[in-house]
Structure 1
Amino acid sequence: MTEALSLFPHSPPWVGTLAGLALLVFASSAANFIVKHVILRLIARLIPTALPAPVAISARLANIVPAVIVSAGIALVPHLPEWAVTVTRNVVGAFIVLTIALAVSRALSFANELYSERPHAASRPIKGYIQVAKIVVYCAAALLMLAVLMEQSPLLLLSGLGALAAVLMLVFKDTILSLVASVQLTSNDMLRVGDWIEMPQLNADGDVIDIALHTVKVQNWDKTITTIPTHRLISESYKNWRGMQESGGRRIKRALLIDQSSAHFLTMEEMERLRRFALIDTYLSDKRGELEEWNAAQVEAGRDPVNQRRVTNLGTFRAYVFAYLQANPRIAREMTLLVRQLQPTAQGLPLEVYCFTATTAWGDYEAIQSDIFDHLISVIPEFGLRLFQEPSGFDTHLLVEGMGEQAAA
């Protein structure tokens, strides 16, 4: 550069300075063009098109070449003040540090993308650790950039940070809590991407779509997104439905409220009529034999007939519901199956169905549950039972009509 500028010995000093700067800009621009449009294109041909991240990383690192040329060539520009050379070199050095930090950050993101394609990535996500690594890289880069600009040793600046430890702990409090929570969630396999969780205190009820360092995103069933701080998944309780999904069955727990005044003993005619139901034919036969044996013993002992046992329509209906569920192919037989009476209430006697469907699909589950209770509600009058229901406007209308007819008569 000096030899080229010596061709103009009688020119003013500022002309040489401008010419030197122009040559430096041209040299750095030419190097930038060659690296990005020639060398990088050759490298891109060697990298599969399905992996664009390495090309982006290389393009980021390519910015170092013109920066190095500027840093080395700024001292050759004639008549340039020493302070300008120093400032330029410091700024270029900080730019190189920043460029390397951005490239490392992109490389970490690329590593996370590759890991997410592995089969066990959903159960062992590393996104939180990647974000911690990025924070460390950016903090180190900021420290090095400051050291380069101030022309001080990074160790000297680092020692000065000890006095700011309390402030740093306060600033990074959420980050530290989230890091610990992320490690516990991952190591204990408490949460995976794709899990259905419920957290009523935060209005979260849906699938986990992302697990990051600071937040966990849940897509609710109404398609809204709830963002939960990671550390709250450790400090507070939530329900994870993964066990239900892995078991292959989903629980049905619903009760029919039966009018207790409709319960009564079955007569022989009613028992014969109910034997039309194939599901309880065997039950009625066995029950009849058991009761006849018991009652015969009571008669022999001279007991009053009030001590005899008889079949009830409520017990027979309970046996019918149990047999109906056992015969239903869409109910899981290897899981718990109960038909039980609960505590009587002012709204009737709850007869609860407790069983599991043979599928966990939401739509199929709702269809199976609805079909079961459609049938039970429709068949219950055959047993002489009534379901409890609060009086409605239609009931009031019938009452008024009945009173009007009586008054007219």
Structure 2
Amino acid sequence: MKRFLLQDASNAGWVKAQEARTQINTASAQIRLQAYPELSTKSRSSIDLKIAQEKVNQLQIRRVCQDIALSTIDMTLAQLFPVDDKDISRIRSKALHYNTLTWKERSVVIFYYLHPLLGNKDAEVTCRVFGVRHATFTNWVTKHSYYPKWVPFVEFMTVRTVLNSIPVEFRAIFDESQLDVESGVSIPVQFRTPTTKRYVTATSHPQLSRQKVVKIAKKSEGVKYLATSVRTVSVGRSLKYPTETNFLLDEVKKGCKSGNPMSRNEIYLRLIQQFGNDGILGPPSEFCSVMKLNGGGISPALAQWVRRRLEGANWSIRKESVSQKVPTDWVLIALVASQKIRTKLDGCTVLINADEVFIKFFPRDTEFVVPTGTKRVGSNVASDAKKGCTVMVSAEMYSSKVLPPFIVMTATHKWHPC
């Protein structure tokens, strides 16, 4: 395009002006990007260039001051405990890998910072010892959302544990004979702010085992167990269908509390009845369309969504496991029962053998949705497993004659001969 325009000598001035304007726009965009990297391109373009330039200058001054402070700390540490250049470069390289630390390892850094005989709340020294960036460490001890993640670890730590985690090049600075290695730290009040999230660890309750702590976290709403290897703590992305999820969990909880837990088919039926829409009252919702509630069956998307929501809320689909206990004297009971049968058959002249054939059988649900970890699963609603329409076929044993069949409607009453 440029060559085409320059074929006419009169366009040379205009082309140079456009190139200069492009360079200015590119430089302005870079300045705005350095000043406000968190904003989108469209948002940055509306910011005054002078304001962006002033912020860039402030950031540069701040970096220079930080470099001066860090170099002063390096000189002080080098005088206290000389190390060679390789060790210093290795210590600095650790700052690039702070995101690989688990929350237990981060808690060691925070404990060092809070203890009066170790870091004594000096963030600069703490960051240089453990190789953590100062801005990152500041977020750990200033953001309220981070407090519940490290408080359970820090409140049960001791100096002995932290000394073993201090890098070797700085460990010789401390004289263990002058330290109470079994002492801990008192967490200031500002770090115990109320929050809707609760985190527990294996050491949060010394009187409980790890298995019991995990069980408490699973059964308690808003409580999450932090393993020693966890690096990030989050709840994941927000639910896409919160209204439908709350309805599902409320129905499951009501059924479990009433002693009649819901089955999987009942859950599908309730969701279809509640959120299904055939278009008469308006267009169907997104949930109805995605889950195909009007399709006349159970779609794979609906089955998968129900399974994931139940697993996320610590509910399981279990088979019925409530059964009678086998008595210890079952042999004696069997002998007595067989003796009664022989006594009743003594002198019997007519013996009828019968069997039934199911014409329309309604099997009872044997799977229920119950809290994860439930040992015994059952329902308090009495239901006959043979409910339906069956045909009873019988024959007289001694005469070998087939008797007239009859229909059993409920297996308990309303017998109608054919």
Q: Which interval holds the TM-score relative to the shorter structure?
A: under 0.3
Q: Could you tell me the TM-score, scaled by structure 2's length?
A: 0.23
Which structure's CA Rg is the greater one? 1
Q: Could you tell me the TM-score, scaled by structure 1's length?
A: 0.23
